[in-house]
Structure 1
Amino acid sequence: MADAAGPRDTSAGAPAFPVPTMPAPPVGVVGLGQLGGSLAAALAAGGREVSGWDVDPAARDAAAARGVRITRELTGVVVLAVPLPAMATALDGLSVDPDATVTDLGSVKVPVLEALTGAFGSRVVGGHPMCGTERSGHAATDPHLFTGARWALCLEPGTELPRWLRVAEVALAVGAEVVPVTAAEHDDAVAAISHVPHLLAAALAAAADDAGPLALALAAGSFRDGTRVMGSDPAFVTAMVEGNAGPTAAALARVRAQLDRPWPDLVTAGSAVARRPTGRRTVRVPLDRAALLALGRAGGAVHRRLAAFVEGWVPGPG
């Protein structure tokens, strides 16, 4: 199981409370752009009952062609796949079952959970799949988008574990691996590995432009890789970094401190991280908040639901 010292392999123990086995609930997706459309398409292709809604008629038509039932009436697990500024109002005008579990795909968790919990209480489970591309909109839908992706899923003190498991099962059904986190831990982590990289990509692109046409004409693979994410919608990037301003500023300060190191030391340190072994050790973790969070904090993820456990992995020799 997992504890404060980290996960350890186990096959005995009891869940924190009984978790009944029930048929998989339907899924309703609000927002049928790249993430929401891909999720709905993947679930529909797998035979899951899935409905959806989008304010854009073209997005609705595209989803319907992939087997998604278009409706304003949502039940089961309701997924908000809309831009961050629209999260608080995404369900306005829609009919949501009063027992539905509400989750989201937003790239920032603390402010989103604050807004949604005020409206839906303990029915909310915050989520963030770590996938997507610089493209956007329903034309960027890809049913395989989540395959092998990490899907951060928030376990707050008030999170109802059966609801968390229902959302986890949705993520697992489309090929993702679930990383249990708290909202604050998530926001600190993604500031370092997602939000700051967007700012660095913007800075790199702007600095190269300042260097003149010759520099841009000579730009090749490393420049392309370093600036790829700046093909994203600027409004999306701005909302993301401003919505997570505190952790992003702290992570950016750490990058600045690294750049102040002697360059040979910096290159050596970065190379060591990039070359770090990537082995995995399989573990079974009981259905307990502390144990699940310990798995996530150890850098692990869940890849399968068992009766009274989840099966996953942590970094280390297999």
Structure 2
Amino acid sequence: MADTAGPGAAPVGGAPSFPVPTMPAPPVGIVGLGQLGGSLAAALTAAGRQVSGWDVDPAARDAAAARGVRITREFSGVVVLAVPLPAMATALDGLVVDADATVTDLGSVKVPVLDALGPVLGRRFVGGHPMCGTERSGHGATDPQLFAGARWALCLERDTELPRWLRVAEVALAVGAEVVPVTAAEHDDAVAAISHVPHLLAAALAGAAAEAGPLALALAAGSFRDGTRVIGSDPAFVTAMVEGNARPTAAALERVRAQLSRPWPDLVATGHAVTTRAGDRRTVRVPLERAALLALGRAGGAVHRRLAAFVEGWVPGEG
């Protein structure tokens, strides 16, 4: 690349870290056809990928079939678990999965899912989490554009097989997402701060406003709506998410409490500076090697294209 992404990045023309697969894109099977799974199936079908799916809800199966998804209990290629966190460990029960299939998930926490599925699936498992979705749920909330422009965290553990990681990354790229290489622990620490704590703060803000009385709720407008939107999500989903990531969420919440104890002018100025910072990006090419890919993610960057011996992406600009 003309630019590098820090440690491990290399210029165009460097050697690949492993033989680059040339096989056609594998089929994708999706277990769970609610908002995320149904949206992924619809987006992949629109992109020309071969997609099959299953859901315990007949209505979700019928809705997916109407969008061109083949409904089956047999899967191969890349298998995506798009089920609630409490159901993750049993999601494949009663299904037939090819012995060489790569399995990934869309769960909002990664360490507990890795702990549950890693011993069973071994190196076949690649944890993932697309940072998208709305407060709506179920197959009625399907949106084939849901992933366009979204960040998709994809876990690279020490024993992750890079060709499998790339297969999952290609699924994310096919629906318009940008891939952020992370470890499961790094992911959980990060999303505690930018997703899980905001859900708790939204709940606290709504509860405090209710205690202020009917007049306060009657006057609530844009800032209150924006600040409380996410707590309109299914309470069971939010509870499973924050309890499944309890330690990092508690630590992130303590950082928020510390911020709130600062003098208000300093607090406001700091927050304003963070949210209005420059959004410049610098294009980089990174070799297909774990340390280099993780360096890209840790720098705040993402992958947006697969090349032969590299991935192309971006990191935040320095200006």
With normalisation by structure 2, the TM-score equals 0.97
Deviation at 1:270, TM superposition (A): 0.4
Q: How far apart in 1 are the matches of 2:117 and 2:4?
A: 29
Deviation at 1:9, TM superposition (A): 6.4
AA matched with 2:241? M
Q: Is the 8 A contact 1:6 1:298 kept in 2?
A: no
| Structure 2 CA distance for partners of 1:204 and 1:7, relative to 1, 3 Å | farther
User: What CA deviation, in whole Å up to 9, does each residue of 1:18-70 have, x standing for no partner?
Assistant: 12211000000000000000000111111100000000000000000000000
| Structure 2 CA distance for partners of 1:135 and 1:22, relative to 1, 3 Å | same
Q: Is the 8 A contact 1:3 1:291 kept in 2?
A: no
Q: 1:219 aligns to what? A: 220
Q: 1:252 aligns to what? A: 253
Q: Is the 8 A contact 2:41 2:69 kept in 1?
A: yes
AA matched with 1:28? G
Q: Is the 8 A contact 1:156 1:183 kept in 2?
A: yes
Matched, 1:66 2:67: yes
Q: 1:168 aligns to what? A: 169
Q: How far apart in 1 are the matches of 2:4 and 2:250?
A: 31
Q: 1:263 aligns to what? A: 264
| Structure 2 CA distance for partners of 1:7 and 1:200, relative to 1, 3 Å | farther
Q: How far apart in 1 are the matches of 2:287 and 2:274?
A: 31
Deviation at 1:10, TM superposition (A): 2.1
User: What CA deviation, in whole Å up to 9, does each residue of 1:104-124 have, x standing for no partner?
Assistant: 000000010111111110000
Matched, 1:55 2:67: no
User: What CA deviation, in whole Å up to 9, does each residue of 1:142-192 have, x standing for no partner?
Assistant: 000000000000000000000000000000000000000000000000000
Deviation at 1:6, TM superposition (A): 4.8
Q: 2:199 aligns to what? A: 198
| Structure 2 CA distance for partners of 1:258 and 1:7, relative to 1, 3 Å | farther
AA matched with 1:187? D
User: What CA deviation, in whole Å up to 9, does each residue of 1:217-261 have, x standing for no partner?
Assistant: 000000000000011000000000000000000000000000000
Matched, 1:242 2:246: no
Deviation at 1:5, TM superposition (A): 4.6
Q: 1:91 aligns to what? A: 92
Aligned length: 318
Q: How far apart in 2 are the matches of 1:245 and 1:306?
A: 38
Provide the secondary structure at the position in 2 that maps to 1:148. coil
Q: How far apart in 1 are the matches of 2:200 and 2:15?
A: 45
Provide the secondary structure at the position in 1 that maps to 2:133. coil
**Aligned pairs for 1:1-318 within 5 A:** 5-6=6-7, 10-316=11-317
Q: How far apart in 1 are the matches of 2:57 and 2:6?
A: 48
Q: Is the 8 A contact 1:7 1:295 kept in 2?
A: no
Q: How far apart in 2 are the matches of 1:221 and 1:155?
A: 39
AA matched with 2:225? R
Provide the secondary structure at the position in 1 that maps to 2:305. strand
Deviation at 1:15, TM superposition (A): 2.2
Paired-residue identity, %:
85
Structure 2 unaligned spans of 5+: none
| Structure 2 CA distance for partners of 1:159 and 1:29, relative to 1, 3 Å | same
AA matched with 1:23? P
Deviation at 1:8, TM superposition (A): 5.3
Provide the secondary structure at the position in 2 that maps to 1:257. helix
Deviates more, 1:16-25 or 1:208-217: 16-25
AA matched with 1:119? V
Provide the secondary structure at the position in 1 that maps to 2:283. strand
Q: Is the 8 A contact 2:8 2:291 kept in 1?
A: no
Deviation at 1:13, TM superposition (A): 1.6
Deviation at 1:16, TM superposition (A): 1.9
Q: How far apart in 2 are the matches of 1:7 and 1:123?
A: 25
User: What CA deviation, in whole Å up to 9, does each residue of 1:78-125 have, x standing for no partner?
Assistant: 000000000000000000000000000000000101111111100000
Q: How far apart in 1 are the matches of 2:143 and 2:153?
A: 20
Q: Is the 8 A contact 1:7 1:283 kept in 2?
A: no
AA matched with 2:286? V
With normalisation by structure 1, the TM-score equals 0.98
Deviation at 1:17, TM superposition (A): 1.7
| Structure 2 CA distance for partners of 1:307 and 1:50, relative to 1, 3 Å | same
AA matched with 2:216? A
Q: How far apart in 2 are the matches of 1:3 and 1:123?
A: 30
